[in-house]
Structure 1
Amino acid sequence: MSADGNKKQFWKRNTAKVPGNIQHVYGAQHPPFDPLLHANLIKAGNKPPSSTTPGKPKKATTFQEFESITSDAWDVGDDDDELLAMAAQNLNIEVVMETANKVIENHSKLQERRQQQMDSLTEPDGKDGEERHEEEEEEPEEEEEREEGAETTTDRSFGSEALPLGDNRLVKSHSEAPVGSPKEVGVEQAALHRQQSLPHRPTIPLVARMADQNTSGTPAMTEREASRLDKFRQVLAGPNTDLDELRKLSWSGIPRQVRPITWKLLSGYLPANAERRESTLQRKRQEYFGFIEQYYDSRNDENHQDTYRQIHIDIPRTNPLIPLFQQASVQEIFERILFIWAIRHPASGYVQGINDLVTPFFVVYVFEYIEEEVENFNVSSLQEEVLRNIEADSFWCMSKLLDGIQDNYTFAQPGIQRKVKALEELVSRIDETVHRHMQQYEVEYLQFAFRWMNNLLMRELPLRCTIRLWDTYQAEPEGFSHFHLYVCAAFLVRWRKEILEERDFQGLMILLQNLPTMHWGNEEVSVLLAEAYRLKFAFADAPNHYKR
């Protein structure tokens, strides 16, 4: 069969099929099963499906096999470094470019230094204790450098040069350990091959908490973090919040304690005037539950049943490894939010992927009422009024987000088509080698970037990273509709080395829908945003750069 025939068969197999008038999403699944993260799940007997025959381990080389082991991957996060605070709206291009380039340059230098430290760990055991002591003494110096805006612990910079991976003993030990039966060996080896681009970090539980100071728990704050939190509280404490100042602070990340109120203000859900906020919340919450009373009973009507049925199918697939989202009460909340939004927006209706866009708001607004970790939190322990508030607030903020990108979901999804085309043109200018490589193997941008635009990269990143990314999107003018394009371009070029190593259509597609980001935290997201900001200022006001 010809290469073109193989490509058509591959794509036909892997286009999500949905009934009725529900619009399909190409390759809309979560990141794949990761044997490093989920070893305990395998040991417990919940083994991933495998199409291989007993005694004949086989690599997951087809997309069907890859698709059969998809699930969400979670990880503990990193400290929220205060980066790009200088990337405010009112700075000139020279300052912005210098700031972004400095972040990336420092990131590369410090990674090389970290590599040297890790290499020293491979010396004879007799020196281990001495080296550990020296490493502990160096930590304060590293903290100081982080405060200057440097990024650490990612494996590769955004240039064409790949940084060394460092000590691979962790990956090796996992690949040698007996994790499952021979059936799973081939699948796990394929996944482990992807792990070679992951940072050197310890194995984590199946579902780890989003453990940075911005998304979960309450670890002790550093002096710098406490200072940032104080700045936010000062801005929020005034009778009329200065939204421009709030955006400048929020661009480099929002502390968890003030994220709920900040998101509500930046999304336009709450007014800047403090005296009007309570009355606005009461009115909007009552309005939402008025919609529930008016429309929700119509979900089984003939003209709405296809929409409701697809929502009902999609909700359990939302972050399936997180117990929070598998609770019946949470799924009912999501069904109501999505159905009411679809009824009130008949030009688009419900599209697969919109269900993902509820989750960041829901998690952030749950944290407004709890201090503990969220993943295993039982929401039924909250008062009914609190749950109603979280539901209504999530609905309105999701609606505000979708108002700015609704052409992504109308008939033929013209917004996504335009953005994918713009991404292709942008990548052809910033990295022609990657662009031509994908052309050579007939990979069309629509085949992978459709999902990036439809789901705002939520299927490519852990939820904690999405929340950090949305801090910046809400601080950036047209963040979800315009700035997201440059984030996608930076995200694609981030995997330059891995892309160029793939030498066929199928390998490229499996890579692009299975990017190894499960270990990402705030550091990686901040570097991604720095590069996106640089690209925006280089190309946003120079449309002729797109032309050949």
Structure 2
Amino acid sequence: MSSDGNKKQFWKRNTAKVPGNIQHVYGAQHPPFDPLLHANLMKAGNKPPSASTPGKPKKATTFQEFESITSDAWDVGDDDDELLAMAAQNLNIEVVMETANKVIENHSKLQERRQQEMEKTTEPDEKYGEEVEEEEEEPEEEEEREEVVETTDVSFSTDPLPLGDSRLVKSHSEAPIGSPKEVGIEQAALHRQQSLPHRPVIPLVARMADQNTSGTPAMTEREASRLDKFRQVLAGPNTDLEELRKLSWSGIPRQVRPITWKLLSGYLPANAERRESTLQRKRQEYFGFIEQYYDSRNDEHHQDTYRQIHIDIPRTNPLIPLFQQASVQEIFERILFIWAIRHPASGYVQGINDLVTPFFVVYVFEYIEEEVENFNVSSLQEEVLRNIEADSFWCMSKLLDGIQDNYTFAQPGIQRKVKALEELVSRIDETVHRQMQLYEVEYLQFAFRWMNNLLMRELPLRCTIRLWDTYQAEPEGFSRFHLYVCAAFLVRWRKEILEEKDFQGLMILLQNLPTMHWGNEEVSVLLAEAYRLKFAFADAPNHYKR
């Protein structure tokens, strides 16, 4: 089969047509791929077609052509009282660069230690690989090994991929046909994978104590010191927002994240005396919108909008029980519908539903101490739930005000950012860029989702919350800085990208990057690398222009 045919089959399997009046988000999948949760993707029945020699298929030369061949992956079937504007303050370059370099240095040392440990533990595995090659001449044993491979979708469903493993685990019927020696090598790799110690299941929202997002674990001396610094800044009659941004760039402690996010987003004023009256006024204003507009969801000209929201809400973080509660879904429906009808230039676009979740989770944490994943929100007082809903609406609105051109007709903001990402990557890692060109992978085919959903479908929610700490602290974090985060994120998978040898392999990798076990450390390194790119290119845009 030709390469062109492979691509068409790939897109046909991974997309589904939706009605023309529904706006699209491309290649939607959430949360990030994990064999523990997506074992069905590894069964032989879902195997991709085998690749042949790359040809020269017709490229999508316009956004409209791209949209016509790439539809949504979800098959749906049959401010007047603005707060004082916050001036965009540049961060202290020396402070952030020192922090970035320190993070990268510590990460490198940790990686070296892990590598040394891995070398020690893989010596017996390498010996096993040699034994497999020596025994491959015996037909009966080869048949036994084939049977083991064919059942990998079962064995791997209970043993998640280790951090850094970027490839989908394939059953024997999916593996490329090669020499017996190649099969033996794959068997050795399979044995090493199965012999790894089982990794504990990590909550999707909180990752043990180091995330400061779940429960009240004992804090380290450093964490206690950082929390004290935040409280000192927040305790004054007028919060120094510049100082608060500097502290927040490296992450915000769970205990003060709600008030910090509200301040940095511009929802609350810096003056402490005005905060309570502002909260009361804005919350009343939001529920005034509910009384005025929400009943119109059944009107003919709003039915399509409400119907799409109603369909998308159950698919928002489907693996986190919190978001499957009826009361939570009703809150999300109200927030999204009110926002959509108050912003007719864009209306509701699939993907905006994801942007509510970090705010909602953070503002729930303001009232509880336990883990949030399985928390029953009905145990909260009605007034508390109303406060969480209104605060989430206003903060999401503030975020979207800065990136609304991402969601207007033809989504021009996203198109510009994807093009800028391509130009930037071509400068910072020409080898990766050439790999994309070699197998004719268009950046729009994978990075559209990165821009549309702010990487929320590529990272666990706990990582998104940590990422947004920095986005809130960074001037134009959700618009400009996000570009550099995406570039650093792509280059992070350089080794895995260069190992792929065809179009569909690259696309499967880029749409299922193995980040399920990421935590603070990985996000901190990603942000440090992104800041280095911004420092090098943001003030000299000609550096990445052709």
Post-superposition CA distance 1:49-89 (Å, at most 9, x none): 99999999999999999999999999999999999999997
CA 1:545–1:221 in 2, change beyond 3 Å: closer, same or farther? same
Partner residue, 2:233: 235
CA 1:510–1:465 in 2, change beyond 3 Å: closer, same or farther? same
Superposition deviation, residue 389 in structure 1: 0.4
CA contact (8 A) 2:449 2:455 kept: yes
Q: RMSD value over aligned CA atoms? A: 12.2
Post-superposition CA distance 1:458-486 (Å, at most 9, x none): 00000000000000000000000000000
CA 1:433–1:96 in 2, change beyond 3 Å: closer, same or farther? same
Equivalent-residue separation in structure 2 for 1:139 and 1:244 (angstroms) = 70
CA 1:58–1:2 in 2, change beyond 3 Å: closer, same or farther? closer
CA 1:22–1:493 in 2, change beyond 3 Å: closer, same or farther? same
My pick for the range that moved more, 183-192 or 80-89, is 80-89
Partner residue, 1:538: 536
CA contact (8 A) 1:111 1:155 kept: no
Post-superposition CA distance 1:176-221 (Å, at most 9, x none): 9999999999999999999899999445579976654421111001
Superposition deviation, residue 546 in structure 1: 1.6
Q: Please list every run of 5 or more consecutive structure 1 residues that lacks an aligned counterpart in the other structure.
A: none
CA 1:48–1:385 in 2, change beyond 3 Å: closer, same or farther? farther
Superposition deviation, residue 359 in structure 1: 0.3
My pick for the range that moved more, 177-186 or 74-83, is 74-83
Superposition deviation, residue 150 in structure 1: 40
CA contact (8 A) 1:77 1:521 kept: no
CA 1:110–1:13 in 2, change beyond 3 Å: closer, same or farther? closer
Superposition deviation, residue 121 in structure 1: 6.4
CA 1:71–1:120 in 2, change beyond 3 Å: closer, same or farther? farther
Q: For 1:123, what is the secondary structure of its paired residue? A: helix
Equivalent-residue separation in structure 2 for 1:321 and 1:78 (angstroms) = 25
CA contact (8 A) 1:50 1:65 kept: no
CA 1:140–1:177 in 2, change beyond 3 Å: closer, same or farther? closer
Q: For 2:234, what is the secondary structure of its paired residue? A: helix
Q: For 1:279, what is the secondary structure of its paired residue? A: helix
CA 1:56–1:453 in 2, change beyond 3 Å: closer, same or farther? closer
Q: Please list every run of 5 or more consecutive structure 2 residues that lacks an aligned counterpart in the other structure.
A: none
Superposition deviation, residue 411 in structure 1: 0.2
Post-superposition CA distance 1:273-319 (Å, at most 9, x none): 01100110000000000100111111111111011011000000011
CA contact (8 A) 1:209 1:216 kept: yes
Post-superposition CA distance 1:317-342 (Å, at most 9, x none): 01111110000000000000000000
Between Structure 1 and Structure 2, whose CA radius of gyration is higher? 2
My pick for the range that moved more, 166-175 or 13-22, is 166-175
CA 1:221–1:47 in 2, change beyond 3 Å: closer, same or farther? farther
Q: TM-score, normalised by structure 1?
A: 0.77
Superposition deviation, residue 235 in structure 1: 0.5
1:326-345 alignment to 2 at 5 Å?
326-345=324-343
> How many aligned residue pairs are there?
545
Q: TM-score, normalised by structure 2?
A: 0.77
1:287-366 alignment to 2 at 5 Å?
287-366=285-364
Post-superposition CA distance 1:118-163 (Å, at most 9, x none): 55568999999999xx999999999999999999x99999999999
Partner residue, 2:97: 97
Q: For 1:304, what is the secondary structure of its paired residue? A: helix
CA contact (8 A) 1:77 1:522 kept: no
My pick for the range that moved more, 200-209 or 258-267, is 200-209
Post-superposition CA distance 1:427-477 (Å, at most 9, x none): 000000000101111100000000000000000000000000000000000
CA contact (8 A) 2:340 2:347 kept: yes
Q: For 2:148, what is the secondary structure of its paired residue? A: coil
Q: For 2:90, what is the secondary structure of its paired residue? A: coil
Equivalent-residue separation in structure 1 for 2:364 and 2:70 (angstroms) = 27
My pick for the range that moved more, 70-79 or 536-545, is 70-79
CA 1:65–1:344 in 2, change beyond 3 Å: closer, same or farther? closer
